[in-house]
Amino acid sequence: MALRVLAHFIPGSKVLDFLASEADWLDVRWCAADDDITFYRELPDAEVIWHVLRPLSAADLRRASRLRLVHKLGAGVNTVDVAAASEQGIAVANMPGANAASVAEGTVLLMLAALRRLPALDRLTRQGRGWPSDPQLGETVRDIGGCTVGLVGYGNIAKRVEQMVAAMGATVLHTSTGSDGLPTWRGLPELLADSDVVSLHVPLTDGPPSTHNLLGADELAAMKPGAVLVNTSRGGVVDEAALVDALRSGRLGAAGLDVFAVEPVAPDNPLLGLDNVALTPHVSWYTVDTMRRYLEQAVANCRRLRDGQRLANVVNQPTGY
């Protein structure tokens, strides 16, 4: 009997082509993130969930009576009730590093867009108001190569960002839970004070230590005047209201954001009305290359599950596992 998988996203043709050769043993049912009717219809029969972003609550997991594995397509499992999964004997696995190349490129994209005032200049150019050039461009726009870039968190993604911006001439600092002995390590207060661009690369955790609102009003005020904040990690790492205040006042020069405190972003979110913010809808990971890596790892773990082998990258200790 085929292994039943509930994939919580809608596939493109390349995804379907990739999985065609597995159809004899893998029965994949597709469900859009916002389609709760299909989700709850398929959930009781699912043995595996390929999870993206739509939260999986304890109540959801209780309805999944056959479920054995939640496989996160990505690294962060903050959208899964991992404790509830463990109690029910459900393994939760992730894919550390699989999206690192794509997210790192998306991070640098947002850095450049924020530093070079891309959103405002794009809008003005489309309106025919880009000429003559704003004289403030020469007073405010920066090259990455002339900046100090501070990386908050120093995992797979941050290290790739470091390689890219260092190749462009930037000075790079980093911080993490404790000093790693490298000469570029700084404590968070010092890193914030010394960096022209601060880029966030930490998971959203309740702790200890907690990363919720890791950058609040005090931390944002400690950044260099006119500095740029980039966040491709999780929206909850930043106090969003304090960020809006800092951007409106000009205390921060700009921000590049792929993640938000509440997703999807509400139309009345004040960040959407600011010209000094470059925005993408949590898609810095979403490339054909990352999807290929995700599918390779997801199928491999399903094969292990089918064959009774130990699963890869399990992040919890499920009862009876």
- State the catalytic residue, choosing from 8, 51, 186, 234: 234
Would residue 201 show up in a list of annotated catalytic residues for this protein?
no
Are 149 and 196 spatial neighbours (Cβ–Cβ below 8 Å)?
yes
How far is it, in rounded angstroms, from Cα 36 to Cα 297? 26
Among candidate residues 2, 22, 14, 10, the one with its CA nearest the CA of residue 298: 22
Q: Is 51 an active-site residue?
A: no
Task: Specify whether the CB–CB gap between 219 and 192 falls below 8 A.
Answer: yes
Q: Which of 22, 105, 190, 263 is catalytic?
A: 263
Is there a contact between 107 and 83 (Cβ–Cβ < 8 Å)?
no
**Alpha-helix runs per DSSP H in 65-187:** 82-87, 100-115, 118-126, 137-140, 156-167
Q: What are phi and psi of 197, to 5 degrees?
A: -130, 130
Decide if 162 is catalytic.
no
Which residues, other chains included, contact 176 with Cβ-Cβ below 8 Å and sequence gap of 6+? 153, 154, 185
Which of 8, 71, 142, 282 is flagged as catalytic?
A: 282
Look at residues 158, 155, 156, 103 and name the one whose alpha carbon lies nearest to residue 284.
103
Residue reference for tokens 């409106």: 248
Which residues pair with residue 255 across a beta bridge? 229, 277
- Report d(CA 236, CA 221) in Å as an integer: 18
Catalytic residues, which ones? 234, 263, 282
